[in-house]
Amino acid sequence: MQRQLQRMATHDPLTGLPNRRLFLNSLSQVLAARRGGGLACLYLDLDGFKVVNDRSGHAVGDRLLVRVAETISGCVRLSDLTARLGGDEFAVILIGLTSPDNARMMTQRIIRAITATAEVDGQAVDVSASIGIAFLPASTSPSMVSADALIKSADEAMYRAKKSGRGQLRLVEWTDGPLGARAPLAESADVESERRKRIAIG
């Protein structure tokens, strides 16, 4: 019973993923124990989820969230951590990264996999994901950033991605500097999306 209560306090009942509380605790531990390699915090929000809920009902919406949770977990490594923060928002901790490109590549993989989720229980769904990335290089002092600050940075990057259209990412890289300066890198998310745009334009 005690273990069950503990799990209920730290995990999302719908998807079984860690909840916001456990995610922030885990991120704090990862930051404190970091020995080498960069890490990234991903903040993900689904595009088009409200339409699915309104048209197909909350039961289909819930099953879609479960499918998305499985999709994200299938795209990352066992050493990474995926969580559901609430609603249609998810977060991921990626560790042992050598460069921001590692984080971009994995994020693009997640975006493509979610976009390919075209059907839930026989019903067509049209969803994609906007993702913000806060990247912390190996050279950055562990004491420079807190878990709250890192996830807030990823959240802000996600909103910039969402304003750019569906299925996009934005990345912010934290660097050592005065007052813990951050260097935002404006980066278009879905390489395939950008390629299709260029083809359509000619």
Answer yes or no: are the C-beta atoms of 170 and 133 closer than 8 Å.
yes
Active site residue: 12, 47, 80, 88, which one? 88
Residues 6+ apart with CB under 8 A from 96: 37, 38, 39, 79
Residue 121 designated active-site? no
Residues 6+ apart with CB under 8 A from 49: 61, 64, 88, 127
Query: What string of H, E and C letters represents the secondary structure of the chain?
Result: CHHHHHHHHHECCCCCCECHHHHHHHHHHHHHHCCCCEEEEEEEEEECHHHHHHHHCHHHHHHHHHHHHHHHHHHCCCCCEEEEEECCEEEEEEEEECCHHHHHHHHHHHHHHHHCCCEECCEECCCEEEEEEEEECCCCCHHHCCHHHHHHHHHHHHHHHHHCCCCCEEEEEECCCCCCCEEEECCCCCHHHHHHHHHHHC
The residues carrying an active-site annotation are: 88
